[in-house]
């Protein structure tokens, strides 16, 4: 079998425009050389029983005989200054800080490393200070997820350590101490790097490589020599940025590597505020993880520059060597303000990033229940399980069971490419193939384009298509799409579970998105109390719905249920027979739509949305069709019910359904939403000759017609419920 992991790589940046350059960075697990060819993906679904994979090979960007080698990854987040505070003249040191360990067994974890000095957790969770060969170690292990105040002294003759819980508990009331003779080892020198949350191993070029990375929070570390302050770091300062600020006399600021979690509640957090914006002084902690990884920092093997007139789209750099074929995704986006078509397809790259390298099949207890089938593990997934250094997805938990809030494009993303991972990316290429098959000229841009360019990106297009799963939206993205709709734009939403989580991008953290799962919604982990605000922006994280912008307000429909066991179909509503809406169902000879498809055998499936005026479905919005026979497989999302009940499935609960919705917007615009991820994967059934395709084509044709849609009379159709 041809290997898909013998070579792995990533393109940086992920998202370029014609005549810009992306750099292909490759690591080899065997081959010494490979060839590279660039392809535009028309359909990336390689299932022989699927719609037919299709790739268009480019005459640019490729290379033969490209030398490749293994490139290591330096996982684990830490804080570093290449040189610590100057200790000249000092013979003793006192270092204090607060720690909140989240893993206290199984591995050595370094909290501070500075020259010969190491402050660490031993494999059994006991705190220890070492100076060279001499160590003082507490007799009892720290407890997980509790704050401890720790102070270590390097005195003239003695090395000592004292620690106590910040909030005393019955089993640990008084400070615990340890001592050892100091020995001959010298204090750290000015040229020694100082690190928090990992031990320095080596410089690889300009990159610091570390070992013994720590899991947990650190707060307010300070260093004194004979009572004189050398350094004192305030982690609540510059919280959105990439450095830890030293308020001491020497300004020994630390660089944060691999994006440890900021906006972390400190030892003094008391629940009076929920955000670091309101009171930074309660957020003076940083949460480090030994499996944080947001930039592989690999060397570039090949520069790829599409020609200026390259068609925008989903692209791959295909690396081939003997018995190896491995694809690396990148996107060539339409240049903002320079449309080449009337239709824009938005590739939901924030969704791709959030899901990138998910490990939930291995780590998350409920995954098989959610998907209602045994886990099928591909070579890529088996590789990811064994190579945690490639970083986690926002669906994963860290090794210390805390949730993953940052996801980066600066690493191989083995489930974001043609292959066996049949969610999101692959499904969206069904839309590309459908557009091509229909002869619809279209541009492609990404979520990041939408975030950065907003309305300037969308305005030139008659129709904007959001894809099968545009789940992750920043404020800028949401505002741009809403503004486009309200200004006469035409929006087709060919998916489900869209516009769900509020995320952030940051100029300080290029290629990284942040998401906080909060305490509501279908989520594979729950955030810590007080830590639901985005560190990139200070905005509240979690569901858009909890911020007054339920998906219904943007799309007319919003997430209601998962439906993974098998998909179902739509039946037309009576309201859809309004003559003004007849264009949508033109040419159909049945009221049943989509009883077929490549995901679960129907167009209503995977994740589905419903209409709800109370949640923001606009006045005048019409339920065109509603699902039938969702059954026991449909499971209501947590935010959709208030008190507990057994009636949470599609047999018993009328909210476990999917509504297809249309509404006109001001200035002649309109929105049409399918509300189902499986809609996109039914488009190509029977070579595109089917009711799903027909309805989509009907809507697209009318949406391309500049004739304005009449603005709805207030309240028209607003009483529709569509319950089946």
For the bound state, the minimum distance from the C-beta of residue 375 to other proteins, rounded and expressed in Å, comes to 4
Q: Which is nearer to other proteins, 262 or 359 (CB)?
A: 359
CB of 310 to other proteins, least distance (A): 30
State which residue, 340 or 629, has the beta carbon closest to other proteins: 629
Residue number, 194 or 635, with CB nearest to other proteins: 635
**Of the two residues 361 and 417, which places its CB atom closer to other proteins in the complex?**
361
- Residue 364 Cβ vs other proteins, minimum distance, rounded to whole Å: 7
What tokens appear for 196 in the block?
A: 């928090």
User: Which of 73/112 has CB closer to other proteins?
Assistant: 73
Whichever of 429 and 466 has its CB closer to other proteins, that residue is 429
Interface residues with other proteins (CB under 8 A)? 1, 46-49, 359, 361-366, 368-369, 372-379, 382, 385-386, 388, 399, 401-402, 420, 525-529, 565-566, 600-601, 629, 631-633
Nearer to other proteins, 244 or 265 (CB): 265
Q: What is the DSSP string of 411-471?
A: S--TTSSSBS--STHHHHHHHHHHHHHTT--EEEEEHHHHHHHTHHHHTT-SEEEE-S---
CB-nearer residue toward other proteins: 86 or 379: 379
Query: What is the DSSP code (8-state) at residue 409?
Result: S
Instruction: Count CA atoms closer than 13 A to 21's CA, side-chain side.
Output: 8
The least distance separating other proteins from the CB of residue 317, rounded to whole angstroms, comes to 21
Closer by beta carbon to other proteins, 313 or else 530: 530
Residue 405 CB, nearest approach to other proteins (Å): 13
- Give dist(CA 123, CA 144) in Å, integer: 13
Backbone phi, psi, residue 542, to 5°:
95, -155
Name the minimum Å distance from CB 594 to other proteins. Answer: 17
- How far is residue 597's CA from residue 679's CA, in Å, rounded to a whole number? 8
Ramachandran region, residue 566 (left: φ > 0; alpha: ψ -120 to 50; beta: rest): beta
Check: CB of residue 607 under 8 Å from CB of residue 640. Answer: no
Smallest separation (angstroms) from other proteins to the CB of 691? 22
Nearest residue (CB) to other proteins, 115 versus 530 = 530
Element (H, E) at 207: strand 207-211
SS3 state of residue 716: coil
Q: Which stretch of DSSP H or E encloses residue 512?
A: strand 512-515
Evaluate whether 183 touches 132 at the Cβ level (below 8 Å). Answer: yes
**Are 324 and 3 in contact, with CB atoms under 8 Å apart?**
yes
718 forms beta bridges with none
Residue 639 DSSP one-character state:
G
Question: Alpha carbon of 547 to those of 483, 501, 690: distances in Å?
Answer: 18, 10, 39
Task: In angstroms, give the least distance from the CB of 386 to other proteins.
Answer: 6
Q: Which residues of 405-423 are buried (b: 16+ CB within 10 A; e: fewer)?
A: bbbbbbbbbbbbbbbebbb
How would you write 561-618 as a 3-class SS string? Answer: EEEEEEEEEEEECCHHHCHHHHHHHCCCCCCEECCCCCCCCCCEEEEEEEECHHHCCC
CB nearer to other proteins: pick between 242 and 367: 367
Nearest of 110, 4, 59 to residue 417 by alpha carbon: 4
């Amino acid at each position: 079998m041809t290997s898909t992991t013998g070579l792995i790589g990533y393109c940086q940046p992920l998202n370029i425009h014609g005549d810009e350059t992306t750099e292909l960075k490759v690591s080899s697990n065997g081959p010494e050389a490979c060839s590279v060819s660039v392809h535009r993906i028309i359909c990336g679904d390689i299932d022989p029983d699927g719609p037919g994979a299709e790739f268009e090979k480019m005459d640019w960007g490729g290379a033969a005989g490209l030398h490749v080698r293994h490139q290591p990854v330096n996982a684990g987040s830490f804080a570093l200054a290449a040189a610590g505070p100057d200790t000249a003249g000092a013979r003793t040191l006192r270092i204090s800080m607060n720690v909140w360990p989240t893993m206290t067994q199984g591995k050595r974890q370094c909290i501070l490393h500075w020259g010969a000095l190491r402050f660490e957790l031993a494999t059994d969770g006991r705190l220890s200070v070492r100076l060279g060969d001499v160590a003082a170690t507490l007799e009892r292990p720290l407890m997980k997820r509790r704050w401890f105040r720790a102070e270590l002294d390097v005195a003239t003759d003695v090395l000592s350590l004292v620690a106590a819980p910040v909030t005393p508990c019955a089993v640990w009331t008084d400070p615990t101490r340890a001592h050892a003779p100091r020995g001959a080892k010298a204090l750290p020198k000015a040229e020694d790097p100082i690190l928090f949350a990992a031990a320095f191993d080596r410089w690889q070029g300009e990159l610091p490589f570390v070992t013994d990375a720590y899991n947990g929070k650190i707060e307010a570390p300070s260093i004194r020599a004979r009572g004189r302050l050398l350094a004192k770091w305030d982690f609540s300062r510059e919280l959105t940025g990439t450095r830890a600020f030293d308020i001491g006399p020497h300004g020994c600021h630390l660089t944060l590597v691999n994006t440890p979690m900021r906006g972390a509640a400190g030892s003094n957090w008391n629940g009076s505020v929920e955000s670091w914006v309101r009171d930074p002084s309660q957020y003076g902690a940083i949460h480090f993880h030994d499996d944080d990884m947001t930039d592989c920092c690999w060397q570039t093997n090949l520069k790829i520059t599409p020609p200026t007139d390259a068609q925008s789209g989903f692209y791959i750099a295909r690396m081939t060597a003997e018995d190896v074929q491995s694809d690396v995704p990148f996107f060539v986006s339409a240049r903002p303000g320079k449309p080449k078509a009337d239709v824009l397809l938005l590739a939901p790259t924030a969704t791709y990033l959030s899901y990138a390298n998910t490990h939930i099949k291995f780590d998350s207890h409920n995954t098989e229940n959610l998907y209602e089938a045994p886990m099928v593990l591909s070579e890529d997934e088996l590789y990811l399980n064994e190579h945690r250094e490639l970083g986690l997805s926002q669906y994963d938990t860290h090794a210390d069971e805390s949730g993953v809030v940052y996801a980066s494009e600066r690493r191989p993303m083995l489930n974001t490419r043609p292959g066996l991972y049949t969610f999101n990316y692959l499904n969206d290429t069904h839309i590309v193939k459908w557009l091509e098959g229909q002869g619809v000229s279209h541009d492609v841009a990404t979520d990041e384009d939408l975030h950065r360019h907003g309305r300037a990106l969308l305005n030139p297009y008659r129709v904007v298509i959001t894809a099968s799963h545009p789940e992750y939206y920043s404020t800028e993205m949401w505002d741009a799409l809403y503004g486009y709709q309200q200004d006469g734009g035409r929006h087709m939403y060919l998916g489900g579970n869209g516009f769900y989580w509020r995320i952030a991008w940051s100029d300080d953290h290029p290629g990284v998105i942040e998401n906080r799962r909060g305490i509501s919604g279908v989520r594979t982990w729950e955030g810590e109390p007080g830590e639901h605000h985005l560190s990139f922006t200070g905005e509240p994280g979690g569901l858009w719905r909890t911020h007054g912008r339920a998906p219904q307000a943007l799309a007319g429909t919003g997430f209601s249920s998962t439906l993974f066991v098998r998909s179902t179909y739509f039946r037309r509503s009576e309201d859809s027979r309004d003559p003004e809406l007849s264009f949508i169902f033109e040419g159909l000879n049945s009221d049943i739509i989509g009883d077929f498809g490549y995901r679960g055998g129907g167009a209503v499936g995977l994740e589905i949305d419903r209409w709800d005026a109370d949640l923001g479905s606009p006045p005048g919005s019409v339920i065109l069709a509603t699902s039938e026979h969702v059954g026991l497989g449909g499971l209501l999302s947590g935010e959709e019910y208030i008190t507990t009940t057994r009636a949470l499935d599609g047999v018993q609960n009328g909210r476990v359904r999917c509504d297809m919705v249309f509404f006109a917007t001001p200035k002649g615009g309109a929105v049409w939403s399918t509300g189902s991820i499986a809609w996109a994967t039914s488009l190509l059934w029977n070579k595109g000759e089917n009711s799903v395709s027909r309805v989509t084509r009907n809507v697209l044709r009318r949406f391309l017609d500049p004739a304005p849609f009449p603005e709805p009379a207030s309240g028209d159709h607003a009483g529709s419920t569509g319950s089946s």
